[in-house]
Amino acid sequence: MTTITNVADLRELARRRVPRAFFEYADRGSYDESTLRENVRALDRIKLRQRVMIDVDRRNLATSFIGQPVSLPLAIAPTGLTGLQYGGGEILGARAAAAAGIPFTLSTMSICSIEQVAAACDTPFWFQVYVMRDRGFTRELIQRAHAAKCSALMLTVDLTIQGQRHREVKNGLAVPPKLTLRNAVDIMGKPRWVWNVLRAPSRSFGNLAGRIGGDSLTTLSQWIASQFDPTLTWADLAWIREAWPGKLIIKGIMDPRDAKLAADHGVDAIVVSNHGGRQLDGAPASIDALPAVVQEVGDRCEVLFDGGITSGQALFKALALGARGALMGKAFLYGLGAMGQPGVTAAIEIIRKELSTTMALCGQTDVAAIDRDALW
């Protein structure tokens, strides 16, 4: 494949270059994957309003997230195991995002640590945190993010208990990778991936050094079940706020009642997200939950969107339904797995170009002015 025209092309290239266990970790969802599919189908059902004879020669795609200027209403979502899609993947993603003028979010479950990414990148990034049973360790993670000058903390609240992802169980997904005959043959057929991972600064969870591994926990899902804290409540925002003095984003909001509670607690932004169809299978598409959340919070906090952003058209639809911007997860990982940093740049620029073209054909000239009237 020599010509990349859309994110689907990047996905196909990543499928060929990344070992099956790690590609399917990025690509698939939980249980029967009905919510994973619905994220895409619901966006496809929304139709755009074509307008003509409007001067659209100059189009503004720039806006801001939580006071931070961005060149495009897009951020890179937090994704686990990023450095096992491509060696040093977190660093490459952060560099590509900085060059494009958009935020990068580093996951707690990253391969490269907070400190490794901060040392390799001049631009501050966002840090996503999960609350562990060991609250002291969670505080330590937050303090490390503050010391690294991260510009926002993103608290993910929809993975206190993991929805089963059948592919991960069948693939025996573990970090570091455990060699079986099946995945050894698969990995041997991916020499580019092996070379890049071997050269990377880290091959296990950099933020969790000394806290994961051993023979008693053979899979990632087993470790998450033992460490993530299902007792997390809104009351925990008090000590999180105490530990984190900067901008706070909550990711995983789908219900207007939860959106109201988040706004009542003074968070700076929320992310409407069903975890990419990787948690509660049978939940609605994120795009179907977005309008009610936007209506509930009004201007009390910013609303970002996550779930199916693999094109500029999808991003346009989220903006039209009230999101200030969106996060891309799978599209980022496809680009990374396909070509490393140039692939991430390609994914961002594909979405930027598609958004700009869609704006022109819908008679829109400013991302901040796109509203429901742009939809059919």
Burial grade of 244 (CB within 10 A; 0-12, 13-18, 19 or more): buried
Q: Are 290 and 323 in contact (CB under 8 A)?
A: yes
Hey, which residues are catalytic here?
A: 275
Collapsing DSSP states into helix, strand and coil, what is residue 70? strand
CA distances from 358 to 15, 176, 320, 355 (A): 28, 42, 12, 5
Sheet holding 74-76, edge to edge: 74-76, 325-328, 302-306, 269-272, 247-253, 152-156, 126-129, 105-106
Q: Which of 2, 1, 8, 41 minimizes the C-alpha distance to 350?
A: 8
Report d(CA 125, CA 117) in Å as an integer. Answer: 9
H/E run at residue 250: strand 247-253
The backbone torsions φ and ψ at residue 180, rounded to the nearest 5 degrees and listed phi first, read -115, 170
User: How many helices (H) and strands (E) are present in the chain, helices listed first?
Assistant: 16, 10
- DSSP H helices in the chain: 7-17, 20-27, 34-45, 89-100, 114-120, 135-147, 166-171, 181-188, 191-199, 220-227, 237-243, 256-264, 286-297, 312-320, 330-339, 341-361
Q: How far is CA 258 from the centre of its chain?
A: 20
Q: Which of 286, 307, 284, 120 minimizes the C-alpha distance to 206?
A: 120
